[in-house]
Structure 1
């Protein structure tokens, strides 16, 4: 068996052109690890932001001059190829999916994950293309709506960026939790958002949702294009503005509102949670899928060697739902 594999390597920070297809050493599983033959991986807005190395203070974590983990990508789905000597929960041939979090490395033909990491067997009726995106939009939106936002039946939730990876998942999860959902998207994507269960859709090209008269219990800004200051006027007295997009003003507003109370701003890096918590939330998301309440919207699929092209498409801002990378 070859000890080499193809992988995408980030040679630095910058445009999609920093992503190069290279032959690298195939990883070998440690005692507690599983070697996965990757069938599909996700390509996300977060991946594209990591590629640019911005915001700059994020480099303190991911690498100053270039990524510490040179192979990008976090969400994956594949087949167990080999097991470490201490692995007991999986067997060779198992169809599995999950998230490498700060381990990255998913844009490759093989990767290794710890047995007790964010990895699960795939439900029989879930395919590889869908599964690789679960730990991105689905898991993140579940965390923000259920765990952080604590959405309750009857509450009013507005989702900005409702046609993206996080947004398409959020519309469905918020409806599953019993909320009245308003999605914000372009007119071109309004039909998609409505089909996923949104009660109302606002065309951001015609209407500034922050200037409306409707009040919301929660505004979930999946794309980080608004702000707590901008939406404060449409939040109910104890409402919250949530966003997974790391920006200094949001961190400042989160600190201030945690002291003042009332309307709040909240941010969290979902991937920074402990693997056990993330795995439990992923299991909850799978149950929503099994109940027929969660569809995965896939916009485009690219072969591994065209990850740079996938990133260019993501950077265009025209992405609907998820972009998937596949190995032939």
Structure 2
């Protein structure tokens, strides 16, 4: 399925190789996010996406169950937990240390054996289905790509924004990325039921494939061109990078352009979901 800008009366644009820049950092506020070793989990209501206990987690990993993260009791890294942690890291599942009281609270004081896995709770779509969604609406594709986001609140907020702006679908990587957990669904305020989310093995290859289909791909970075100067009309994919390291080098090198949001205050960054919202609605206005 290819999208011909001339046939669809889209604006003419010259596809240029993206400029290489020194910084791979996106719009972010490090204080808002955690890395894989920090405890950032917040529970507000009973969870239905928890896999509790060592044997249950082992079987879930063996079965290839999509997972958001593994929560391990602080100080419990030996014995049978060690291979669980190793396998999660190999699969790109985020591992976090938390206090035992938090695990107790999350599972209703069930016997968790020092480990809880947060599993995906929603079925994934495909890139082909997202493109078909655009074709069914008789619209040029409008896609958001999340390059290794780790915070489920960010992904949920982006999904909610995407639904409001008419985005046809979201793409995330299989490894080293938050998955469709209960927190994502809750933060999306129900939008997850309407915005298809596809998981792919390689974001860089997906970017290349989208470009071959006539879709223009732009990523967000503080050192990019001010977004108001970019032509965001027509078939488009926007890439938002991870909270800590931004858009990966290879993904950025394969994008058609790099966009920035000019900052006037003392803080020179926005969190990932806010930056995504600014660019998504700018693109929506240009369609």
Normalising by the residue count of structure 1, what TM-score does the alignment of the two structures yield? 0.27
* Greater fraction strand: 1
State the structure with bigger RCO (CA 8 A, min sep 6), 1 or 2: 2
